[in-house]
């Protein structure tokens, strides 16, 4: 069925038979074709188009069949779900962590598709059009989780605060301006019991001096690469959620708002590489950094996956996972540690196992 023939079905008063429309196997193309043409449709045609869209993207719709086909023929075939670097070629004590998780709450994100039939599409891969979580998305969510833990655990000693803050920069790279100002204000509140401009500015100035002494190279570069590297996560399902805002006076629904989600029980694979690239010549410092960074990372991972979530609408509980995970992998470069387990186990137990292995290596 050509694009012209497909759109022609929406230009007549006669409703097309569902089976005729669904014979077009490229479901995503169907959605985009309708989306680009919505401006020319009357209200009756728009409702018809949205009805077909809901059928295609629903739990048992064609889009999930498309995702299943892509997973089977491409992502699984080329190892894109379980990709891992050749970590033994990296500097010793670098580590790679990977596991397969199942969503306990829906995952919501924002795609950058210009024309789409709904204003709330979930983020998809550019080529395969499969729902995904980008590496930058993982980094941002984990950094937010670690930053929240940092603020909650602020001590009354400035030196200790700066040491922990430096760890976050080592792991995630330069702070954004907003993050920098937020941390400065929180530290000022903790130490001086107020967030005055002068106090906040002084904290920022002192930390910048501390940072330049700890990492002299930062004076000559506009950005600092962190030690954590993330990988794309592809999900295996898509669905629609709906919210129906109510009129405050009439207490009745107004206009239902549909948005795409990755539903409960969908699965994905999380992969993380820790590579201290600027400590290549100092094995003792790498060991110490391994231990200290993992203590921060362990808590941030636990909170992100089980408490905060890694989705939009975190405060509503979206984007947390079930405690059971599978297909676990953990490798430390330059050692004999290469953990591979396909069985289901508690996420907390997996973190504890990794913690024990890291401490064994760091304390040798």
**Same domain flag for 194 and 337:** no
22 in a domain, yes or no?
Answer: yes
Q: Where among 161, 191, 220 does a domain terminate?
A: 220
- Quote the domain boundaries for residue 100: 81-137+227-362
3-state class percentages of the chain: helix first, strand second, coil last, to nearest 5: 50, 15, 35
Do residue 215 and residue 236 come from a single domain?
no
The position carrying tokens 């760091």 is 362
Chosen domain end from 201, 220, 239: 220
Q: Are residues 235 and 327 in the same domain?
A: yes
pLDDT of residue 136: 92
- According to the model, what pLDDT value does residue 183 have? 93
Do residues 246 and 329 share a domain?
Answer: yes
What residues of the chain score a pLDDT lower than 50?
1-25, 34, 36-44
Domain boundary among 168, 201, 220: 220
pLDDT of residue 49: 54
Residues 149 and 132 reside in one and the same domain: no
SS3 312: coil
Shortest CA distance to 142 belongs to which of 303, 274, 271?
303
The per-residue pLDDT for 253 is: 66
Write down the pLDDT at residue 114: 63
76 domain-assigned: no
Q: Please indicate, yes or no, whether the overall pTM of this predicted structure exceeds 0.85.
A: no
Q: Pairing relation of β-strands 345-346 and 132-133?
A: unpaired
**What confidence score (pLDDT) does residue 162 get?**
93
Would you say 358 and 294 are in contact if contact means Cβ atoms under 8 Å apart?
A: yes
Q: Where are the beta strands (DSSP E) in 252-337?
A: 257-261, 267-274, 324-332
Are the C-beta atoms of residues 91 and 279 closer than 8 Å to each other? yes
pLDDT reported for residue 98: 96
Number of Cβ within a 10 Å radius of residue 177: 8
Phi, psi at 249, each rounded to 5°: -85, -50
């Amino acid at each position: 069925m050509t694009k012209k023939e497909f759109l022609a079905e929406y230009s007549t008063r006669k409703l097309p038979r569902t089976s005729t429309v669904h014979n077009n196997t490229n479901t995503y193309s169907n959605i985009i074709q309708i989306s680009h043409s919505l401006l020319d449709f009357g209200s009756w045609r728009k409702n018809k188009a949205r009805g077909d869209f809901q059928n295609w993207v629903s739990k048992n719709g064609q889009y999930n069949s498309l995702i299943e086909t892509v997973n089977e023929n491409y992502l699984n075939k080329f190892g894109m779900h379980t990709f891992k670097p050749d970590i033994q070629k990296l500097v010793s004590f670098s580590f790679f962590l990977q596991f397969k998780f199942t969503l306990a709450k829906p995952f919501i994100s924002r795609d950058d598709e210009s024309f789409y039939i709904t204003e709330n599409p979930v983020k998809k891969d550019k080529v395969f059009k499969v729902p995904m979580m980008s590496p930058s998305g993982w980094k941002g969510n984990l950094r937010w989780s670690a930053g929240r833990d940092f603020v909650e655990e602020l001590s009354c000693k400035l030196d200790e605060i700066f040491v922990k803050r430096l760890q976050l920069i080592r792991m995630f790279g330069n702070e954004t301006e907003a993050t920098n100002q937020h941390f400065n204000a929180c530290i000022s509140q903790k130490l001086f019991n107020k967030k005055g401009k002068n106090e906040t500015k002084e904290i920022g100035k002192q930390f910048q001096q501390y940072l330049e002494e700890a990492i002299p190279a930062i004076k000559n570069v506009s950005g600092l690469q962190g030690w954590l590297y993330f990988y794309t996560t592809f999900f295996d399902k898509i669905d629609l959620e709906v919210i129906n805002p109510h009129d405050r006076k009439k207490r009745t629904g107004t206009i239902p708002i549909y948005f795409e989600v990755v539903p409960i029980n969908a699965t994905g694979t999380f992969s993380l590489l820790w590579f201290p690239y600027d400590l290549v010549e100092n094995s003792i410092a790498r060991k110490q950094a391994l231990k200290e960074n993992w203590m921060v990372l362990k808590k941030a991972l636990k909170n992100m996956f089980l408490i905060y979530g890694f989705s939009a609408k975190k405060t509503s509980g979206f984007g947390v996972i079930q405690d059971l995970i599978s297909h676990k992998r953990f490798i430390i470069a330059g050692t004999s540690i290469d953990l591979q387990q396909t069985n289901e186990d508690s996420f907390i137990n997996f973190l504890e196992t990794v913690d024990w292995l890291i401490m064994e290596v760091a304390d040798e």
